[in-house]
Amino acid sequence: MNRREFLMGTAWMSLAAAAAGSQIEKIFPDGGAPMAEFAAPPLKRIRIGFVGVGKRGTYAVGRICQMPGVEIVAFCDIKDSAIKGCQDILKSKKLPPAKEYLGPEAYKALCRECECDVVYACTPWKLHAPVALEAMRCGRHAFVEVPATMDVDSCWELVETSEKTRRHCMMLENCCYGETEMLALNMCRLGIFGEIVYGGAGYLHYTTNRAIKDGPSWRNEWYQEHCGNFYPTHGLGPVAQYMDINRGDRFDYLVSVDTKSAGPAAMAEALFPADSWQRNVKLKAGDYSATIIRTVNGHAIYLATSCFVPHPYSRINMIQGTKGIFMDYPLRIAFENQFSDGNVPERAFDDAKTEEYRKKYMHPMWRDVGEIAKKVGGHGGMDFIMDLRWIYCLQNGLPLDMNVYDLASWSCLCEITEKSVLNRSAPTDIPDFTRGAWKKLKPLGIHSVDINKMGVKDVQPGSQQDISSKT
């Protein structure tokens, strides 16, 4: 038992008498209440402060400034040029300028002083949690990029702060809003794959330039200091939703293994002189990280990340049931009857049938706003749909699709996979951030937005450089 578990256990014991005759899961040692299915009072006008307006933050500003009922009131960054670029976006849309906060800790002043409802963080990884915590403690809802944090302790801190302040803390996992991911979710909810057995998820994206070629950076610093899966959530988030993780099931434990690091060194040897820092840097992060997650209900998820050796882009995005299978990259869907009658298994995947299924089972949100999303852009439109959905939920007082328990369950794997790797791939437990509530919660439903109610119209294409469905 670690220190945190001991303190939590002591606090729970002291509350036992007070909890008699009540629902114990609604009484927390540090105050607050559960955030699962939490809905904040409606905000017809949402004021947003952006922290971190570099490349990804700038793209978000370009999308969100087109949303009705939204006002961008503040920008915070360490570079004045980044803030100026976002002010120019507002000016081009004939919108008033936002207040400016400049400096490495200026986000604290934004959270405390600026009259905003939402803090939207697009900073480097290590700053996600500090910004979100400051925002919630100042009464703001926190929306943070991926991964939301890199260690288990800060996952717990985010959970407990969200519960205590009664403020949303959502990770901006855009891949949960991709067209094929939402297609798979809809098909799972319809039950047409039968009983779900296992799934596959990943982030296979050749980005060795981020490790060495682009120069020293916060990413490079992490790769030198840590192993394990440093970027688990893009592929994992959607598959976790298919499997009702935190809503009927939960992650139990995992085993992880890393390869050695060879790709960055090979690139450095080919491109840089012998006395360069690139030729002398040593990375702990392996070229390939592989993990098997076991859930309490007996499902399994294969999770992989590979960024430093050549590989076609893939998030794997696979779900297997007793009656059928969904496989992405490329998209293939088949059911049990397609594997019978003597068909060779690999021939059971039929392109025409897959396209028929794609159209028939398209998620209502993509059916309703997919064309608008593709015009606006943002990783094939998923970014626009993600922002549109959480804005719609806040404006109408609805629970968010992803809550702080999802944020913690997915992000904590950065540390837990590293622990397994460093312990010869030993099975390593994954915390239950819901504290047992997962047993009673309903799976994520199939939701959309009423664009007429929101007044969405005249959105402009090209609000950011689009890179197809990659992220």
Average pLDDT of span 117-144: 98
Name every residue whose Cβ is closer than 8 Å to that of residue 335 and which is 6 or more positions away in sequence. 192, 323, 324
Query: CATH second-level architecture of 31-172?
Result: 3-Layer(aba) Sandwich (3.40)
Alpha-carbon dihedral of residues 114, 116, 146, 407, nearest 10 degrees?
A: 120
Instruction: Return the domain boundaries, the chain.
Output: 31-172, 176-365+404-435
- DSSP state, residue 157: H
Q: What is the pTM of this model?
A: 0.91
Distance CA 170, CA 313 (A): 26
Task: Specify the DSSP class assigned to residue 314.
Answer: B
Q: For residue 362, report the phi and psi dihedrals to the nearest 5 degrees.
A: -55, 135
31-172 and 176-365+404-435 agree in CATH topology: no
Say whether pLDDT at 304 is over 70.
Answer: yes
Task: Judge contact between 140 and 114, C-beta under 8 A.
Answer: no
Tell me 249's DSSP state. Answer: B
Between 461 and 79, the higher pLDDT residue: 79
In this prediction, residue 457 carries a pLDDT of: 65
Residues forming beta bridges with residue 334, ordered by sequence position: 325
Q: What is the DSSP string of 16-45?
A: HHHHTTS-GGG--TTS----TT--PPP-SS
For tokens 């703001």, the residue is: 140
Is the confidence at residue 26, as pLDDT, over 70? no
The mean per-residue pLDDT over the stretch 406-427 comes to: 98
pLDDT of residue 385: 97
- Bridge partners for 50 per DSSP: 75, 120
**Which pLDDT band holds residue 465 (cuts at 50, 70, 90)?**
very low
Residue keyed to tokens 């009484």: 27
What is residue 388's DSSP assignment?
H
Pick from 339, 310, 289, 298: nearest CA to 199 = 298
**218, 125 contact by CB (below 8 A):** yes
Q: Which helix (H) or strand (E) holds 85?
A: helix 80-92
> Which pLDDT does position 346 carry in this prediction?
66
> What are the two backbone dihedrals, phi and then psi, of residue 71, each rounded to the nearest 5 degrees?
-130, 125
Peptide bond into 34 cis (omega under 30): no
- Domain 176-365+404-435 -> CATH class: alpha beta
**Does the pLDDT of residue 241 top 50, yes or no?**
yes
Q: Is the pLDDT of residue 466 over 50?
A: no
